Structure 1
Amino acid sequence: MRAEVVLFDGFDPLDVIAPYEVLAGAAMVADEGVDVELVSAEGPREVPSGIKGVALRATARLDPRRADLVVVPGALGSLPEPDAEDPAEDSIPVLLGRTLETELPALLKEALDREGVTVATVCGGSLVLAMAGLIEGRPATTHRMGLDLLEATGVRMLDVRVVDDGDLVTASSVTSGLDLGLYLLERELGPRVAIAVEKLIAHERRGTVWRGTGVASTVGV
């Protein structure tokens, strides 16, 4: 199984490292693991994060033809001022919006269109997809501060930790990248591998993963 974790200017480092380490950890506890690589829409380059002085190196270009799993992080920047007419240049919405000016939306569309590829997001990663018009009408989650924006793009917004909609799996806020990675291991490689990695990193998944199955809730979840 091959996973490609996307980097873009202003990415949140924890959104990247948490699922990366969990997915890579499968190879430490089982004969079958996950080949994980950091990628960007532009190809190999040093990619600055949203923390000054912290960058990670993308070693390849995002390639949906090779990937089984594509993970999209959110951004880390200043919080938007409620009364400001124009958001700050380093604000999270601006950083996420800049991805629309790159090749990333087209590559993510190719990934979603390609059979057998799962696109997963952490925090504001789902907003990248939503603002690009790629997940309209689909259930998804993001950080609580971005739920209104997610809904405004026509996405079926859910205030839960992880949402599984088949080839689209979204996770809510920063530390949920750990839960996302563990859930994907359970889904793709089985519970024994996921439990072994849980023990390895001393973290147990939180909450119930939302899936559109079973008896409908009367409270709209």
Structure 2
Amino acid sequence: MLAQFVLFDGFDPLDVVAPFEVFSAAKAFTDLVSVELVTADGPGEVRSGIPAVSLTATADLDPDRADLIVVPGAAGRSLPQGESDLSDAEREATIPAILGRTLTTGLPGLLAKALAAPGTTVATVCGGSLILSMAGLIDGRSATTHHQGLEVLGMGGVNVTRARVVDDGDLVTAGGVTSGLDLGLYLLEREVGPKVALAVEQLFEHERRGVAWRDHGPAPVSA
């Protein structure tokens, strides 16, 4: 399977690197996995939202080739509700502004194509699900994001689920930044198998946290 990891100006490095390294490490245990760093605009160096940290995309985001597409969130300053004393430059460096700028690129169209493609899974870490929501791509779907963005996600017509990883079929979303490791291992188990996922989990000495939510089984009843 080909897993493509999306970069855009201002992305959060850990959102990308954690699941990317999970799938990269899996290549030591199976020949079923390949990985690429990609952008909507093609190969090139992409600046993250952390000064002096960049990654290099080696390919185009291509829903026709990818089996899995992982979308990160942004690294920057959060914007508390009602805050208005920021300069224009400071406001442009906030997470909402960085995420909003992705909507002016070719990324939303490519993600829409990916979500419409049979057999392709779109996954997000942290604010990546907010990009999908702002683009109007996941109305009525179940998803999660960083706890600071849950209210905004719900306002976008998403069924907000407070879980570290939320599996809604061809849409799999994860919460805050460190959840990218859990997302990567969960997807590796789901798409490749538990034996390879366990080997990578042991290599990383990381135990996944919490239950990956799926719309399956009886709903809990109050005591």
Three-state SS of the structure 1 residue aligned to 2:75 is coil
Moved over 4 A (4+): none
Distance 2:23 2:113 in 1: 23
Kept after mapping to 2: 8 A contact 1:24/1:33:
no
Q: Please report the TM-score for the alignment, with normalisation by the length of structure 1.
A: 0.96
Structure 2: which 5+ runs fail to align? none
After superposition, residues 41-56 of structure 1 pair within 5 angstroms as 41-56=40-55
After superposition, residues 68-83 of structure 1 pair within 5 angstroms as 68-83=67-82
Aligned equivalent of 2:130:
127
Three-state SS of the structure 1 residue aligned to 2:6 is strand
Query: How many residues in Structure 1 have an aligned counterpart in Structure 2?
Result: 218
1:160 aligns with 2:159: no
Distance 1:91 1:27 in 2: 36
Q: Please report the TM-score for the alignment, with normalisation by the length of structure 2.
A: 0.95
Distance 2:177 2:32 in 1: 24
Deviation, structure 1 residue 94: 0.6
1:116 aligns with 2:115: no
Deviation, structure 1 residue 168: 0.3
Distance 1:81 1:211 in 2: 31
- State the Cα deviation string for residues 42-67 of structure 1 (Å, max 9, x = none): 00111100001111111111000000
1:26 aligns with 2:29: no
RMSD of equivalent CA atoms: 1.2
1:216 aligns with 2:184: no
Three-state SS of the structure 2 residue aligned to 1:37 is strand
Distance 1:33 1:77 in 2: 35
Structure 1: which 5+ runs fail to align? none
Deviation, structure 1 residue 159: 1.2
Aligned equivalent of 1:16:
16
